[in-house]
């Protein structure tokens, strides 16, 4: 019964976020926006746009009436979440962080050489992908010819989106000495957009898994797991943060077989080793305690995400497959026994035991990073000679 209530609570919170989004979307505001989407090599022209309501030229109301509020099926009343600030100017903390980062704008560091430059030095080659916060495109840095991935994110009037942009940028800039986190060459920041210049990786594990028949070999997963766990431990030790969105699409691979972690937009600060905010990640890889809206959680939530990702990559399919809705996925994660691998399926007993520990449902008994790094399976693959680059080449050539 408690599990059902917690799932209803999560749905109610989702509805509250939708209502807040509508408030942000439809309230009157005046701000600069881009007149059109342009290449980063061309300076955007700002256009002053005003949206005062009501519009006398409109023959219809600008905003529909709210739906009547009703209780959920379990009888629990709906509840509103506290309103969040909606603009950067309303958040002095965000403004201060942005000002600190802006001092680094226009500096590109390649091979220990710093270049003072402008975004016009980036020549766009083609788009690599897009997401909720912006697009990623391939570009050439003209002064050295370096090919890089540029993440282009628009500064909006929504504080939560801007916080994601700043968090992503802060983490990669501070992680320059970690070989397991995607390298940042520098950034360009204006009042309208943020450009993060990163090393170009070959692919992510989500895309790669679609080309692999029957799942990744265990030794390949072993080397990948070592890199990801070390990246997460580095973030905890050096920056006191938790990633909160570990999944195959956020794990990158280059042509040399190097595995790196990326996308830190929803990373959270730890207070006394605990996270106290409920910023969403991808619910399919989220731990039971986060889905059950625990007041506090810690790095063991990311250990669960590692386990789910490894099971998916090992078997070639998401462990909670066959669900018809996100609600069904959430329900199975909370209610079903955790997924497991068996030696009879061709996996080593050490690997099966490692996943059993990572996917312990009660997080109080789930290991943290330091314990995970001491597991026999991880220790073995930390020193084992595995040709990840050769395996990747065989996949893309097949």
Among candidate residues 248, 226, 249, 259, the one with its CA nearest the CA of residue 313 = 248
| Residue spans of the chain under pLDDT 70 | 1-91, 131-133, 270-281, 294-295
pLDDT in tens, 67-100: 444 444 444 444 443 343 334 344 577 777 777 7
On whether the CB atoms of residues 174 and 235 are closer than 8 A, the answer is no
What is the pLDDT, as a whole number, of residue 47? 39
Structure tokens at 384: 């084992």
Residues annotated catalytic, as ranges = 245
CATH entry 3.30.470.10 includes domain 203-397: no
DSSP code of residue 87 = S
Nearest Cα to Cα of residue 333 among 298, 305, 296: 305
Cα separations (Å) of 59 from 15, 27, 74? 29, 19, 41
Measured distance CA(246)–CA(255) in Å, rounded: 22
Domain ranges of the chain: 89-199, 203-397
- The predicted pLDDT at position 14 comes to 59
Asked if 330 and 273 touch (Cβ cutoff 8 Å), the reply is no
Structure tokens that stand for 92 in this block: 């002095």
Q: What is the pLDDT of residue 270?
A: 64
The class that CATH gives domain 89-199 is: alpha beta
Q: What is the pLDDT of residues 274-309, one digit of tens each?
A: 565 555 668 899 999 988 876 678 899 999 999 999
């Amino acid at each position: 019964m408690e599990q059902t209530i917690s799932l209803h609570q999560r749905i109610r919170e989702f509805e509250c976020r939708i209502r807040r989004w509508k408030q942000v979307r439809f309230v009157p505001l005046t701000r600069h926006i881009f007149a059109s989407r342009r290449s980063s090599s061309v300076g955007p022209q700002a256009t002053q746009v005003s949206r005062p309501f009501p519009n006398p030229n409109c023959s219809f109301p600008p905003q529909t009436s709210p739906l009547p509020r009703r209780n959920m099926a379990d009888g629990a009343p709906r509840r509103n979440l506290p309103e969040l600030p909606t603009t950067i100017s309303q958040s002095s903390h965000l403004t201060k962080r942005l000002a600190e980062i802006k001092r680094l704008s226009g500096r590109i560091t390649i091979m220990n050489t710093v270049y003072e430059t402008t975004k016009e030095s980036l020549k766009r080659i083609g788009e690599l992908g897009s997401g909720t916060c912006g697009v990623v495109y391939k570009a050439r840095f003209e002064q050295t010819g370096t090919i890089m991935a540029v993440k282009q994110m628009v500064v909006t009037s929504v504080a939560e989106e801007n916080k994601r942009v700043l968090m992503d940028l802060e983490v990669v800039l501070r992680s320059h000495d970690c070989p397991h986190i995607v390298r940042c060459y520098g950034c360009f920041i204006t009042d309208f957009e943020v450009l993060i210049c990163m090393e170009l990786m070959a692919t992510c594990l989500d895309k790669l898994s679609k080309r692999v028949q029957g799942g990744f070999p265990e030794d390949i997963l072993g080397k990948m797991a070592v890199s990801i766990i070390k990246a997460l431990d580095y973030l905890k030790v050096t920056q006191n943060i938790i990633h909160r969105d570990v999944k195959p699409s956020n794990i990158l691979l280059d042509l040399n077989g190097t595995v790196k972690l990326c996308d830190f937009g929803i990373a959270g600060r730890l207070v006394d080793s605990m996270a106290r905010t409920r910023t969403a990640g991808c619910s399919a890889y989220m731990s039971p305690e986060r889905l059950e809206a625990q007041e506090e959680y810690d790095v063991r939530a990311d250990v669960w995400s590692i386990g789910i990702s490894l099971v998916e990559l090992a078997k070639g399919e998401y462990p909670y497959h066959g669900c018809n809705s996100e609600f069904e996925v959430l329900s199975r994660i909370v209610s079903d026994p955790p997924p497991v691998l068996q030696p009879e399926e061709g996996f080593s007993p050490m690997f099966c035991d490692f996943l059993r520990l990572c996917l312990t449902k009660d997080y109080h008994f789930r290991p943290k990073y330091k314990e995970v790094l001491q597991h026999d399976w991880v220790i073995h693959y930390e020193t084992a000679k595995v040709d990840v680059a050769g395996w990747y080449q065989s996949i893309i050539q097949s």
